């Protein structure tokens, strides 16, 4: 297993996970990159839970979790999390996301980049089939039984290739965010 991928079971409680569902007003078809919609790359519905003050019960625990994980594991220079993305993968369209990297530059002068990605499981694994979070470049697959437990957080460097296999039955939900910081040196 790659030591840069951190799996934390029970990182977020059921109340936090339910608050994610409650915050979603509507979902829309997810795009890839700068708004391109491509069924062959990504099939999911998303909702951005913007407003750290409005959604403080989501952002405060997330920021504390990120801070603790970074202090104890990565020790990177980080600044802010991006907006929380609620994601839904369902069987009706074999919801999936082909392997990709979350790297992006967030400023004109290239002084802010995505450094960490975090995915939080919102659906119990017994409610769907398929939908495995994968890291194709890793030597060993991740333990899916851990990843499919409600409240489990998976934290990894944004430069790692990862994806979601097609959901063949049911629906998988996750909350995703990315943490920004100055470029690696």
CATH number of 105's domain: 2.60.120.620
pLDDT at 56: 97
Sequence-distant (6+) residues with CB within 8 A of 72 are none
Q: Is residue 62 part of a domain?
A: yes
Phi-psi region of 130 (alpha: psi -120 to 50; beta: other; left: phi over 0): left
pTM for the predicted model, two decimal places: 0.92
Q: Is residue 116 part of a domain?
A: yes
Q: How far apart are CA 182 and CA 173, in angstroms?
A: 30
Q: Is residue 57 part of a domain?
A: yes
What digits encode the pLDDT tens for the residues 137-175? 998 888 888 889 999 999 999 999 999 999 999 999 999
Q: Is the sign of the CA dihedral 82, 83, 89, 94 positive or negative?
A: negative
Q: Is residue 1 part of a domain?
A: no
What digits encode the pLDDT tens for the residues 56-112? 999 999 999 999 999 999 999 999 999 999 999 999 999 999 999 998 766 556 688
- How many separate domains does the chain show? 1
Q: Is residue 21 part of a domain?
A: yes
Write out the residue range of the structural domain in which residue 138 sits: 6-30+39-181
């Amino acid at each position: 297993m790659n030591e840069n991928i951190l799996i934390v079971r029970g990182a977020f409680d059921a109340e936090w996970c339910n608050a994610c569902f409650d915050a979603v007003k509507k979902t829309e078809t997810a795009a890839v990159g700068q708004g391109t919609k491509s069924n062959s790359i990504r099939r999911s519905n998303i909702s951005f839970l913007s407003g750290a003050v409005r959604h403080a019960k989501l952002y405060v625990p997330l920021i504390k979790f990120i801070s603790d994980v970074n202090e104890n594991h990565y020790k990177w220079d980080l600044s802010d999390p991006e907006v929380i993305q609620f994601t839904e993968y369902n069987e009706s369209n074999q919801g999936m996301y082909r392997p990709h990297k979350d790297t992006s530059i967030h400023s004109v002068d290239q002084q802010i980049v995505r450094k960490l990605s975090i995915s939080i499981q919102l659906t119990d694994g017994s409610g769907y089939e398929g939908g495995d979070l994968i890291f194709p470049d890793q030597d060993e697959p991740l333990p899916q039984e851990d990843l499919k437990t409600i409240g489990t957080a998976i934290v990894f460097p944004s430069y790692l290739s990862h994806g979601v296999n097609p959901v063949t039955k049911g629906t998988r939900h996750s909350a995703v965010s990315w943490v920004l910081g100055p470029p690696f040196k």
